[in-house]
Each structure stands twice: as C-alpha cells, then as structure tokens.
Structure 1
Amino acid sequence: MKRCLLTFLILASHMFFTQSTLNLIPKPQKVEMLKGEFIIPETLVLNSDLPKEETEYFKKRLNAPLKFKYAQKGGGIHLTNSIIPSLPKDDEQKKENYSLEISPKQIHIQSYTKQGYFLALQTLIQLFEEHQNDKKIPALKIEDQPKFAWRGMHLDVCRHFFTVDEVKQYIDYLAMYKMNTFHWHLTDDQGWRIEIKKYPKLTQLGSKRKESMIGAYVDNQFDGKPYGPYFYTQEQIKDVVKYAQERHITVVPEIEMPGHALAALAAYPELACTKGPFEPATKWGVFDDVFCPKDETFTFLENVLDEVIQLFPSPYIHIGGDECPKTRWKECAHCQELIRKNNLKDEHGLQSYFIQRIEKYVNKKGRKIIGWDEILEGGLAPNAAVMSWTGIKGGVEAAKAKHFAVMTPGSYCYFDHYQGDPQTEPNAFGGYTPLDKVYSYNPIPEELNAEQAKYILGVQANLWTEYITDFNHVQYMIFPRLMALSEVAWGTSDPKNYKEFENRVISQFKVLDKMKINYARSIYNISAKVIPHNNGIAYELSTSQDPKGIRYTLDGTDPTANSSVYQNPVPVSKSLMVKSAYFENGQLKSAISSQEFSVSKATGKSITLEHQPSENYSFGGAFTLVDGIIGNQKQLGKTWLGFQGKDVVATIDLGQKMSFSEVYFNTLENKGSWIHLAKSAQVFVSDDNKSFKMIKEIGKEEIQKAKGRIKLNVGNQNAKYIKIKIENAGIIPAGNPGADSKAWLFVDEIGIK
C-alpha cells in the first residue's frame, strides 16, 4: 500500500489545551505537544478511500465507548477530510512507522503501509478512550516506530483448551497494545489440538485425556473427569489466521518435536521407540516417550507440516525442540545405529540430526524453523532461529553464531508465574514475575556487541496453561503484564520511571473495566520485601497508592483502619507474623498479606554463594536464604532459589564468633518438574573464611526421611563463618521425568540456632 494521509473533520469548536500527560501504552518514541485541543465531535467524517478493513476495525472499537456517527466522503487533494495519496513507494524498512498529528481542527495519520496505519489507529483509539468524558484531546504530534520486529505473545491450548472466540479475543488484546506475533502452541503431551486430514486419529484419540491433574503438583491429585475431545478444525484455523491478519498479527504455529509427543503417539504408537500403548498425559511435566527418528516418523511429520504450512502463512514454523529426554533413544537399537551411521557424538547429536532434517524439509517449502533453545543441543540447524526461554544464554549463543533469536526468558517473560504475593494469588506454576520485573527487562543481552544485537528479533511472553482452566483466568494472568511487555517490545520502557508507567497502567484499567476484562489488581495489593537492617532484617512495605494508607499488625490479627500506620520498614528481631493491607477512607482496598518470620542467628547476615541460582528462580538472590522466611513447599514463588545441575555452597558471615548447636535448611522434591532432594549435605565452620572444618555430614537417606525439612544437631560450636554445602542430585536417572537431564535443587532458608 502507498503512504496515506488521513484527515478527520471535526464539527465542533476548539480552545487551547495545556495538559501534557498522555496515558498511552506503549509510550511513543517521540511526542511533541502543540497548542490547543481537538474537541471530539458527534460525527467523524471519514474519507471513502481509507483502507477499509483497518477503518472498520477502528469504528467497531470506538463504537462501544463512543457512540459516534460517521460520514464518508470522497474528494480531491484540497478537501480537509480526504486521504491524499503519496508518491513514494512502500518502504519495507518503515512498514510499522507512522506519524500522528492532531490539530484543533484535524487529525492526520501518515504511514507507509496499512500496518503502520493500523498501529496509528491503536494510538488514536487510546486517545479517544482516555478523553471520552471531557471530549478534549490535546493537540500533538507523534513520530513513532517499534524497536523490535518480533513482539509476541504465546498461548498454550494443549493443557487447557480455549474456543475460537476466546482465541480471537486474545488476538484483539495483542492488537490493542501493538503486538504483532501470536505464537499458538497446538500440540503437546496432554493434547493434540489441530486437525490433520491425513491423520484423523490425531484428533480422534489425541485431543482428549481421561482426566486432568489439579491442585499443587506435589499433591498428585486428579479430577477424574474426561477432558475433550477439543481441537480446531482446519476451517477454524483459517478463520483465526484471517482474523489475525486483519489486525496485522502473524500467527506462528507450534508443532512439538521430538519430545512432548505423547498425544501423537497415543494415536500412532508406531512412531515411538517402544510399542506402547500410549495415552495423552494426565499429569503435567515431561515424559520419556518421544518421537523415534526413523523414516516413517519423518514421513509423518513432513505430511503434518505440509498441512500446517498450507494453513499458516507465517515465515516461521515453530517445531518445539525443548525438554526431550534421551532415555528411549539410549535404549533403542535403531537410534544407536543411526548415531553410529552418521558419526554423531551422542543422543544430543541425534537431536540435532532430527532438527536439521526437519529444517531442510521446511526450508524446501519456503519457510524457516524456530525452536526453543534446546535445539542448540548437538549443534544448531543451519538456518534455524532460537527462542531463548531457559535464560538468555541460548539467545546470546544464537546471535553470536549469526542466527536470529527471540528473547523469552522465564524469569521475565513467563506469565504463568505469580504476579503478586503467592498467598493472595490463584494457584500458579511457580516463579515470581510481577509487573515491575516484566517492565525492567531489556531484550538485548549485555554480552552482545552492536552487530550481534541485530540478530535479536525481539521479545515474547509465554502463557502455559497447566493451572489456567478458563479464559477468565487467562485474562487475569496476561493483564496488566501484557502492557509492560508491549512497552519493552516497542523499545520505550524505562525502569527508572516505573511509577510513571504504573500510573498509565492504572489509567488503562478503566478501558479494561468497560471491556469486562478480568485483569489482576495485584499492584493495588501490598508489595513487600525483606531488607538488611542493623545486622538483621526489616520488612519493607509499599503500594501503588498513597503509602499513608498502609496498615499493619505484628500479632497475627488482621489489620483494620485503626491498626499501626506504616511509615518505615518494620524491624524483625524475633519470630512473628506480619499482616498488612491498604485502606482508603477507612475502607479495605486490597487483599490482606500475611508473612510469617522464623528468625535465627543467620537471619539478615552476609551470605555468599559459590554458584548462582537459575535466572528463572533467583528472586532476591543469596539473601533469600537468610531472610527469615520458610518457603511453602506447594508454591515455587519468590521464597525459593532454584539451581539446575549445581550444588548450593553458601557461606554465612555471622559478623562475630557465635555459639550454636543446630543448622537447618529446607529443600524440595517435585520429580515431575525435575526437582529432586539433595544427595547429601555438609556443614563447615571457620574463623577466618579460609580454613574450614567439616562438623556434620548427612546422606540421601536422612534427607529423604526428613522430606526436605533438614535439622542438623551439630553439637556445641563457636565460629564466625559457617559454610553449608547441599549437593545436587546430578543427572536424573532413567524412569523419572526428565531422565538424563540435570536435576533441579531448590533451597529456601538456612537457619542457625
């Protein structure tokens, strides 16, 4: 499309406007405030030459809050309400650029493509929504374009299914905040959700399961209710893709391979290394049975991809590639012969062989593959892009090798994590990713130079739905974090001005209310953290509202409007329960937050770690281990540190020599999530932090017997430094989820008495 100029003629008077605050999300790259204001009229005059689909979208979006009348007119270059065609040709480099100029009489939009025009309309819609009551929009000029080409959101429809209408709503939410990529996770162990006409059993058998896991993973409970059959027909897929295209959103389908394949193997067991039988998984987690890399498997996957490629015009096809246990391949004679025949190093090399063979086929079809960062195992396929989720390492490695990467590290971009105090939030998978943390993310890793940074395509957030059973909950988990992600992706986020962003978010809540979207109000709740204080700790409370409204108690009772007024961090020198809440005009306005403290001689002391925790489970860093908070074994929220394949080696400086007789720590077992109890633990003491003497050692049996709650009687000791080494279980043994992968070790609190 050629560049266009849009003019709306207003049928009203005007006056000067002095307001300069704009509650736009994402914030534009450049805004210039002008004199005057645009008075919102009853009738908007639209030129008949305007891009039809985008303009109809604009009218529908505004029709709910603003009952506009529209007039359409054609005309020449001198008509103020006309579109003036541009002479320059389309500019692919500026396809998402736009300018928006609002004068007291007119609104002009200039863009090089329909896509840029559509993005400009999103800005204009937000301005109309913001000023629908006072009917006055400030005169301004906006010059805008995104920083990143890939601005994505993912939705898992395998663990729990969502209807076509709900998926369309999800796409609408992305469009509202200028996202341009919808990653549709369509196949997994728990369900196959896309019709493949050549293989009808995929949906006949693979789209249903006999029951579903409920509650916390460690409870191992099931609902006993058949789930499905649920899947999308090819006609429904086409409908969704068309709907997204009309909103200038690319739909990227994901067909998982070689792992996460149980639903497919339930339909076609001959594609496995063993005979089966198989059934779609009822538990969450990772399973040993995966696609076997034999010719009939590749024929099957190529035929599936043929139909997928026909349905999705996306340049990229996502082929998964994550969490593929090698247990079956190690035991499979065909796999071992394939390794020898192709001079592959090991089963990781076999995974690379698998991915490269699929990539060649997809490339022949004129498409490219993208996969989770495990596709780096054994060597990256020649043209593959990497979606970096286990941290930033995969993205860094890909970019340095001149492969494109999309950054989606779990520690910032997993929206199935808790976004507020786990005690006041719905059950979630784990982790802690509040709004401000999402907003703080920079998708360009510091390790990359300017040339390498060009290979970072953009950023994406993922919504896995193990614990999200309905669309109401989907809304809760993505809003308002989607707003933070959109500004990060647009390239205008500024963590130093988070409060200003938060105010814009709260302004957007009015729009979400009118759309009846169930957004999380977690930012209204008390935000709390433990901080070092006078060689101990203090409890710091904050709120997005007036901090004078915070009330708290120390005796375990619920706070009231007459409880203690929070002024400074609350010192915690003994074990106690702190409860807090926000009040306004004497009325409770937030959830009541509760935090129990268990204070020991280690609480608040200086602590160092020999190995750092995983990015996904590192909230608070080493200090989390001496913050006086005992973690909930059913909630992998902000109180736990997670270490994959690493030991915990922590040294605590007590500040002076102290006597003690007990050391305790807490670890966790959740084998379905690859979390194993420690193999052993040792306690050492020192007076100079150089020469350490071991005073206690326990093995796996004692740790298992204590179920992770370890209390060690170390006799009468007197030392300044205490070192605790908690040994990781190492490589997960066969017969367990994630076999042959590095085990996770979770630790929450180290205490000394």
Structure 2
Amino acid sequence: MRRFLFMCSVIFSTVFHAQKKPDLIPYPQSVTMQKGKFIIPETLILSDKLPKEETEYFKKRLGSRIKFQNSSKIEGADMIYVPIPQLKTPIDPEHKEKYLIDISSKRIFITANTNQGYFLALQTLIQLFEEHKEDKEIPAMEINDYPKFAWRGMHLDVCRHFFNVDEVKQYIDYLAMYKLNTFHWHLTDDQGWRIEIKKYPKLTQTGSKRKESMIGAYVDNTFDGKPYGPYFYTQEQIKEVIKYAEQRHITIVPEIEMPGHALAALSAYPELACTKGPFESATKWGVFDDVFCPKEETFTFLENVLDEVIALFPSQYIHIGGDECPKTRWKECSHCQELIKKNNLKDEHGLQSYFIHRIEKYVNSKGRKIIGWDEILEGGLAPNAAVMSWTGVNGGIEAAKSGHFAVMTPGAYCYFDHYQGDPQSEPNAFGGFTPLEKVYSYDPVPAELNAEQAKYILGVQANLWTEYITGFKQVEYMIFPRLMALSEVGWGTADSKNYKEFEGRVIRQFKVLDKMKVNYAKSIYNISGKVLPASNGIAYELTVSQNPEGIRYTTDGTEPSISSQIYQGPVAVSKSLTVKSAYFEDGKLKSAVSSQEFTVSKTTGKKITLEQQPSENYSFGGAFTLVDGIIGNTRQLGKTWLGFQGKDVIATIDFGQKTAFSEVYFNTLENKGSWIHLAKSAQIFISDDGTNFKLIKEIGENEILNSKGKIKLNVGNQNSKYIRLTIENAGIIPAGNPGADSKAWLFVDEIGAN
C-alpha cells in the first residue's frame, strides 16, 4: 500500500471555495468539496522516490517547473513524499486502478496500491491543473476513485488506411488522457497485412500493398488509381509501441483476422485458400468470398503467425477476428465438405466453430486466451473464448449467460466511423448516426442479465474503422469528443439524465485539445434538428449546446443571417419546404449552416407502427423516421434511413380519418458491397378498421430493379383510414455477391402518399 504526498508551499486559506464540480472526464466515483484552496506554486518539488516513468509523464504533460529532491531531507517543504502512514481511507488491495486524492490548502496526498493507480491519479491532477491554469488555485477536495469496468478500450483499423508509429503513439496518448486502458490494434484484413512475420516475409512484401483504393461513397464505385503501400510495422516498431503503451498502463490487444477478411494474406500465400487464385489485396471496402481454407497447412501457417504475435505482445487476450466469414468457398470445397462429414459437423457454421476451436486450443497452449467478434458464437462458442459484441448486444448477452466474458461494442453506440453530426455538414463517413449524446447514453450491462451474469461483462470499447479516414487528423476528428463520452461510460459514472452537464465539461475540455492542436469535431456547436409529430403535420425542433436565442433560421431556401427569424420554438412544417439554420454569437456566425429539406405528403407526421423493428445500428428516430417528411440521401446512411437485416418491413400508417390518395412512394437502397440489397417485392394494402386489409397494389423484383429502388406507384383512386406496406427483404445473399449466404440488409426511407 502506497501513499504519495504532493506538497507545495502555499498561503494558508480557510475560506470555503464555493465552486461548481470540477471539469474532470471521466468524472470520479466520489468528489467531496472541502474548505480552502490549494495555490499552485511556480515550482513543484517532487520526491525522488516517486515511480519514475509515471512522474516523468506527469512532468512532460504538465509542462510546469518541477525539481526532484531527496525526501528524507524535506520537512514540510514543496514536495511529493513517500511514505506516509495511517491512511484515512484504506484501498481494496485487489483493485489495481483505485486511487485517492486529498487536496487541502497546503498539500496534495495521493494514495494508490500500484503504479497504475498512481498514474490514473496523475491524469486527474493534470486535468485539475489545466482547469485552474489561469487562476492558479485548485479548490480543496477529496477524490475517491476507481473504474467500474476492467476493459475500457479503443480500436484502430490500420489496414484500410495506415498510420505510422508516431501517430499510433499519439493515439495511445489520447487513450491515456481519459483513463482508457486497452488499445485494440486491428493489424490484418482484406485491404492490407500490417505486421511483419519473419517466417512469412511475403505477407509484408505482397500483402502490405494494394494497386489502388476506393474513394468517395461506396455507391460511386470510384477509385484513385494510386498504388497504396507497402505499409507495415516491423517487429522492432511493434516492440517500441508496446513499450510506449506499457509506460501509460495501456494493454495492446493485437488482432489477426481469421478465417475471413484474409485476401491480403492470400495474395501472398494463395495455397491457403480453397481455390487456386490468384488473389490480390482488396481495393474495395466490404466483405469477400475468399477466406482461409481449414486445411492442415493453413493451421500450420496461422499457428506460426500466432507464435510470433504472442512473442511480441504480452496481452492476456489475442483477438482472432472471426467476423463476416462468407461460407461460399467452403460450400464449394471438397476438402471442407469432407471435413464437415469427418467431424460430424452440422454445416459450414459448424466448420467455423471447428476452426475457432482449433485456434483457441493452440492459443491456450501458449498460456493466452482468444477473443473474437460475436460471429464466433456461430456453431458453438469455444470453451475459453471471450466475445466482442458488435452486431448488437445479443452476442454479449449470450456469452455472459453461458459463463463467457464479453466486451460490449455495439455499432449503434460504439462505432466511431459513423456520423456524429448532421451528415450534410460532416466529412464522408461509413454511415450510421452516433452523436456524442448517444455514446454517453450507453450502459454496457444489458438489462437482460442478472447480477451474477453481469460479472461476465468485462467492459466497453469503441471501434474506428478507416475506410473513409485517410489521415491522422481525420482520426482525431472522428474520436473527439466521443472518446470522452466513452471514457465516462467505461468508468461507470455516465448518467444520461445529466448529459447537458457532461456536455459543458466537454466544451471546457476543448481548451486542452486546442492547446494540443487536436483536430476535434465541433459538431457539438452546430444546430441539431429533430422532427416531432404535430397537429398539422410535423414540427422541426432545433437545439444547440449554447444559448438557443442565438439560432436564426429561414424557410424560403435563403441562407440564414443575423437578421433572419429568431428561433422561439419548433418550426411548423405543413408543406414542402427547406429549413436552414445557424447559430450566431455577437453578430457573427459561429456554426455550420444546417439545411433540411422536407417533402410533405398525406402520411407525414401520421401514426405509424412496425411489426418488426430495425437493426439497432440503423434505427435512429424509430418508425417515425418513415413519415418524418425527409427523403433519405443515398450517399449517407445517417439519420434518415432505417436498416433491417434479414427482416421484411411491415408498416401500418393511420391517417386518423378516411383520406383520399392515388399515389404511394417509398425508396429502398442498393449497396451490395455492404450487403444492402433492393427490396424483393412490395405490397400495398388499405383498411378502414385497422384489422381487415385489402391488397390494392403489388410490385415485383424486376420493377423495383428497373426503378433503381425509387418506387412511385399509381394505386388508383383510394379512400381509407389505414394504409399498410409490406416490403420484402431480399433474404439470403446469393453466391457471387459480397456476404454470400448471409442475411441481406434492407434500407427504407420515407413512405409517402398523395
């Protein structure tokens, strides 16, 4: 048990420092404000017995004048002193990350069991020193702090786009600043192999480069024509990064993808596939049919690769991927089919389980454990495997209920490649809509778990896939400020009821990021719009993190100015129009201009119900999204589309009274690289009682294909109280398409009637 005494010469003060809660992120478990204030001196004198690496980090981050002195010669002078007996609050010796800070008018005490706890305490002190840099006085307080979750992670994909050693170190520094403790390093994928394996030099000679890269939105299907790579990390560079992370008490979990996402590896060693190839590193984003073939030479290859990975990385867990593995090649492979029969496996999903079991057994023999994306549950989970639940929360629930550890990283809350602000004013992103508030609202422990099962939730992680992130400045933009929300969720002190208070702390933290020249997203300053049902259609509610009286808007298509209408409440939308809005302060434009076009029909704002709910990742706004007057942008799967994987859309709209109409429209989307297929068919029904429905129109696959998903149907003169649309999902993706044998996605936007 250790106690570190941080003492500085000060002018004694007993005046109660009546101040708001400190601007700490993540916020501590307990902060008790005391009387007095600690005056920050010009020079801090630290004991020479303090842990060296952590204290050097503190010195570098703080940028203050610091000198070290032999603690045995100090008697109450400016110092950190070790040891001090008789702790006020004993620390659980099993909790490595717990710490106490006691700030009085004369000194600062830090208590921690481990260097890691001391390091976390220093992160808190750094934030307090930064917050009070100008007034040079920190309010007296006691902080009793520890994290709720053992795994607080961030992921970085370096395969789609590569980031050099210095950039990876900077990324690790950002994690350390906000007390995250796990860095998930995604090192191999279809688009590039990024880690040197000495036994297999062609992995980096061939697999670390590609002939070109996809640019723009996926629907554009355009490429830059520029060779990319070779880009990879040598083993010496890997060791350098691991040491750097260890100094910041961050564990690096490496990911070696298998059995899918293997094109880069197969480009170097085509004999590991089910077919002869040749193969090349993927130039597109998405999922591809060619995967590792589960034959002995493949397992020998992977075991040799893992030997070198395990020798480099000291982490308990090795991530083996396991996600998005199409079974097309396995179905057509005589060896795979014979293996299924020989081992009495049910099907190709059973073969995937066989594959993962073999890899787990080998990794376990080396004293390590595997963790994989939740598809490793397919066909049965390996005995000691942990699950990273990304497709939603169900994978984590299933794992925990069966006594397996899980890290929660559902796309709806934890995918930082999604848009975080209005897609029209944001850089091109993968899709989805995950603003700061949504990240902050996440609870990693599913309500379906009891107290005993909840113990298997290791923690939470956010993922940054880099298809559309070409440089490190954009990495910064995508993780900040959402990383701050994640840190507080992982620490266990996030409370969605207090989001506005958290938002204020975030904005005040921006001063630190500005000083560091971090390119953070300023979406928090922009206006956010929300469509509400209203008595005469819909209303458009505008909110901003600052004073809402600064919002100006127009409805005639012109750009807002300081002389435009002052926002005083939700804007009524009873006809098709465009609302443009912006925030002004001191007569100057302080935000991006937000523009929202509305297409009003007879369904707009009406009551709507869905028999099957959309995927959590693409459910923003729920069923009302289909009648909110907003036509979805085919280039941006942000706020305006609902996505259904393997499910039909059955939507019933209540007009409220019998209503005449003769045209019905809706849109579906096609983006096969992301497994998104046009609807297979659609039927339109009407009813006057909401129970008995009559079919009035049907459209087939060819008509939908010919219309390219933009469906506008003449249904004759109708007059009914209810209208129902059944939009059929394409079902299982056929062979020859990305994601073959998986459930297709169906994306639908506005359902209108005129």
**d(CA) in 1 for partners of 2:197, 2:255:** 14
**Counterpart check, 1:143 vs 2:140:** no
Q: Look up the equivalent residue of 1:7 and give its one-letter code.
A: F
**d(CA) in 1 for partners of 2:347, 2:144:** 53
1:30-49 matches, cutoff 5 A: 30-49=30-49
1:103-502 matches, cutoff 5 A: 103-502=104-503
1:104 to partner: Cα distance: 0.7
**d(CA) in 2 for partners of 1:207, 1:27:** 41
**d(CA) in 2 for partners of 1:240, 1:704:** 50
CA contact (8 A) 2:532 2:541 kept: yes
Task: Give the 3 Å change call, closer, same or farther, for CA 347–77 of structure 1 in structure 2.
Answer: farther
**d(CA) in 2 for partners of 1:481, 1:474:** 12
Q: SS of the residue aligned with 2:338? A: helix
1:94 to partner: Cα distance: 1.3
**d(CA) in 1 for partners of 2:21, 2:86:** 35
The match for 2:70 among 60, 65, 73 is 73
Query: Which blocks of at least 5 consecutive residues in structure 1 are unaligned?
Result: none
Q: Look up the equivalent residue of 2:269 and give its one-letter code.
A: Y
1:93 to partner: Cα distance: 2.3
CA contact (8 A) 2:14 2:35 kept: no
TM-score (structure 1 length as normaliser): 0.98
CA contact (8 A) 1:388 1:394 kept: yes
Aligned alpha-carbon RMSD (Å): 1.3
Deviations 1:358-386 (A, max 9, x none): 00000000000000000000000000000
Q: SS of the residue aligned with 1:93? A: coil
**d(CA) in 2 for partners of 1:615, 1:246:** 38
**d(CA) in 1 for partners of 2:120, 2:222:** 46
Q: SS of the residue aligned with 1:231? A: coil
**d(CA) in 2 for partners of 1:5, 1:269:** 58
**d(CA) in 2 for partners of 1:90, 1:228:** 50
**d(CA) in 2 for partners of 1:478, 1:629:** 28
**Counterpart check, 1:584 vs 2:581:** no
Q: Look up the equivalent residue of 1:130 and give its one-letter code.
A: E
Task: Give the 3 Å change call, closer, same or farther, for CA 76–395 of structure 1 in structure 2.
Answer: farther
1:69 to partner: Cα distance: 3.5
**d(CA) in 2 for partners of 1:74, 1:500:** 41
1:746 to partner: Cα distance: 0.1
CA contact (8 A) 1:5 1:110 kept: yes
Q: Look up the equivalent residue of 1:445 and give its one-letter code.
A: P
CA contact (8 A) 2:5 2:107 kept: no
CA contact (8 A) 1:538 1:570 kept: yes
Q: SS of the residue aligned with 2:56? A: helix
**d(CA) in 2 for partners of 1:166, 1:90:** 36
1:83 to partner: Cα distance: 1.1
CA contact (8 A) 1:689 1:721 kept: yes
1:85 to partner: Cα distance: 6.1
Task: Give the 3 Å change call, closer, same or farther, for CA 12–72 of structure 1 in structure 2.
Answer: farther
1:79 to partner: Cα distance: 5.0
1:739 to partner: Cα distance: 0.1
2:58 aligned residue: 58
TM-score (structure 2 length as normaliser): 0.98
Q: Look up the equivalent residue of 2:748 and give its one-letter code.
A: V
The farther-off stretch of 3-12 and 302-311 is: 3-12
Deviations 1:400-448 (A, max 9, x none): 0010000000000000000000000000000000000000000000110
**d(CA) in 2 for partners of 1:117, 1:530:** 48
**d(CA) in 1 for partners of 2:471, 2:440:** 26
Deviations 1:589-637 (A, max 9, x none): 0000000000000000000001000000000000000000000001000
Q: Look up the equivalent residue of 1:348 and give its one-letter code.
A: H
**d(CA) in 2 for partners of 1:487, 1:30:** 13
Q: Look up the equivalent residue of 1:597 and give its one-letter code.
A: F
Q: Look up the equivalent residue of 2:35 and give its one-letter code.
A: K
Deviations 1:60-93 (A, max 9, x none): 0001xxx424242321796563211669999652
The farther-off stretch of 77-86 and 448-457 is: 77-86
Task: Give the 3 Å change call, closer, same or farther, for CA 449–515 of structure 1 in structure 2.
Answer: same
Q: SS of the residue aligned with 1:361? A: helix
**d(CA) in 2 for partners of 1:591, 1:718:** 44
Deviations 1:119-168 (A, max 9, x none): 00000000000001110100000000000000000000000000100000
Q: Look up the equivalent residue of 2:5 and give its one-letter code.
A: L
Query: Which blocks of at least 5 consecutive residues in structure 2 are unaligned?
Result: none
**Counterpart check, 1:705 vs 2:706:** yes
CA contact (8 A) 1:20 1:33 kept: no
CA contact (8 A) 1:684 1:723 kept: yes
CA contact (8 A) 1:7 1:83 kept: no
Q: Look up the equivalent residue of 2:698 and give its one-letter code.
A: E
1:45 to partner: Cα distance: 1.1
2:721 aligned residue: 720
CA contact (8 A) 2:99 2:112 kept: yes
1:3 to partner: Cα distance: 2.0
CA contact (8 A) 2:7 2:76 kept: no
Q: Look up the equivalent residue of 1:22 and give its one-letter code.
A: P
Q: SS of the residue aligned with 2:750? A: strand
Q: Look up the equivalent residue of 1:610 and give its one-letter code.
A: E
Q: SS of the residue aligned with 1:567? A: coil
Deviations 1:27-72 (A, max 9, x none): 0000110100000000101011101100000000001xxx424242
1:661 aligned residue: 662
1:19 to partner: Cα distance: 1.4
Q: Look up the equivalent residue of 1:41 and give its one-letter code.
A: P
Task: Give the 3 Å change call, closer, same or farther, for CA 402–77 of structure 1 in structure 2.
Answer: farther
**d(CA) in 2 for partners of 1:662, 1:19:** 62
**d(CA) in 2 for partners of 1:73, 1:172:** 30
1:684 to partner: Cα distance: 0.3
**d(CA) in 1 for partners of 2:223, 2:117:** 48
CA contact (8 A) 1:251 1:312 kept: yes
**d(CA) in 1 for partners of 2:236, 2:536:** 65
**d(CA) in 2 for partners of 1:317, 1:91:** 29
Q: Look up the equivalent residue of 1:467 and give its one-letter code.
A: Y
**d(CA) in 2 for partners of 1:20, 1:752:** 53
Deviations 1:183-238 (A, max 9, x none): 00000000000000000000000000000000000000000000000000000000
1:29 aligned residue: 29
**d(CA) in 1 for partners of 2:349, 2:462:** 27
CA contact (8 A) 1:10 1:43 kept: no
Deviations 1:289-328 (A, max 9, x none): 0000000000000000000001100000000000000000
Q: SS of the residue aligned with 1:459? A: strand
CA contact (8 A) 1:6 1:50 kept: no
Q: Look up the equivalent residue of 1:8 and give its one-letter code.
A: M
**d(CA) in 2 for partners of 1:371, 1:165:** 27
Q: Look up the equivalent residue of 1:30 and give its one-letter code.
A: S
1:4 to partner: Cα distance: 2.7
Q: Look up the equivalent residue of 1:661 and give its one-letter code.
A: S
**d(CA) in 2 for partners of 1:76, 1:678:** 79
**d(CA) in 1 for partners of 2:154, 2:185:** 9
Q: Look up the equivalent residue of 1:353 and give its one-letter code.
A: Y
Q: Look up the equivalent residue of 1:84 and give its one-letter code.
A: P
